[in-house]
Amino acid sequence: MSTMQTIHDVQVLICDPEGDPIAAERDALDLIGNASYQGAQWVVIPAERFDASFFQLSTRVAGDIVQKFVNYRVGLVVMGDISNYTEDSSALRDFIRECNRGRQTWFVADAEELGERLKG
């Protein structure tokens, strides 16, 4: 079950770590629709909810999912430890670094880091 929270005056939909895996665009669209309905500006998805293919950039799953969030102007946060994926992929590390420079998609370790990012 997802919950709405206000963090530094920003409406955030926080997805439960338990739930269906996020593996394709249609999964993203369901979350975007739910977030939009509830008035959320950001959706926080625990890293463990993503199918492993999300972290393998050659599959294009991450790009497709991120693009859906961009198209619907809802921010995406991937929260949690993904070091097992990044240690072997310089391309993924570069992708994460570029995402974290922007204002649309972030990869954060925990709720504290998210709070700092949302402060402005």
**pLDDT in the model for residue 94:** 97
3-state secondary structure at position 19: coil
Q: How does pLDDT run across 57-95, given as a tens digit for each residue?
A: 999 999 999 999 999 999 999 999 999 999 999 999 999
Taking each helix axis from N to C end, the angle separating 61-71 and 25-38, rounded to the nearest 10 degrees, works out to: 30
pTM (2 d.p.):
0.95
The pLDDT of 105-117, averaged and rounded, is 97
